[in-house]
């Protein structure tokens, strides 16, 4: 497993930030498509109405398209040795050796640079300033 210094992690942000922005946008579109699918399925269960098979196919295709796009972006992020922890927040964790123990440098979309870290078992709620 690759570990990062804060400087190394910050140096990657210009490359990772656009990927994370696209993940967050795609996740919003995926949520909208899944909501549309749930609404459509509820209408079908309530006796169908004016729903055609193409309506179901279209919304299913939207869900699959967004999910595949997110998967590709996540793979690109992971290829750098970085973990995407939250698709809605655009939250990244960078493995870091802190005083000899493995910890995580933590960055969230909208932050200028990495300014926080947390232990492996602490998560986002346990973030501490660097």
- What single DSSP character describes residue 124? G
Domain ranges in the chain?
6-129
Q: Which residue has the higher pLDDT, 50 or 27?
A: 27
**Which pLDDT value is given to residue 11?**
98
51 — pLDDT class (breaks 50, 70, 90): confident
Nearest to 9 by CA among 103, 81, 87, 102: 81
Q: What is the pLDDT of residues 69-120, one digit of tens each?
A: 999 999 999 999 999 999 999 999 999 999 999 999 999 999 999 999 999 9
What phi and psi, each to the nearest 5 degrees, are found at residue 76?
A: -65, -40
User: Would you say the pTM of this structure is higher than 0.75?
Assistant: yes
């Amino acid at each position: 497993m690759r570990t990062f210094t804060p400087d190394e992690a910050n140096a990657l942000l210009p490359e990772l930030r656009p990927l994370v922005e696209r993940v967050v946008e795609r996740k919003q579109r995926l949520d909208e498509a899944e909501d549309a699918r749930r609404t459509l399925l509820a209408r079908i269960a309530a006796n169908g109405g004016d729903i055609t098979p193409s309506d179901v196919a279209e919304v299913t295709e939207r869900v699959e398209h967004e999910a595949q796009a997110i998967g590709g972006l996540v793979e690109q992020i992971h290829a750098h040795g970085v973990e995407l922890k939250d698709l809605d927040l655009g939250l990244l964790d960078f493995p870091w050796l802190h005083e000899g123990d493995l910890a995580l440098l933590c960055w969230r979309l909208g932050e200028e640079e990495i300014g926080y870290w947390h232990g492996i078992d602490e998560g986002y709620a346990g973030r501490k300033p660097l």
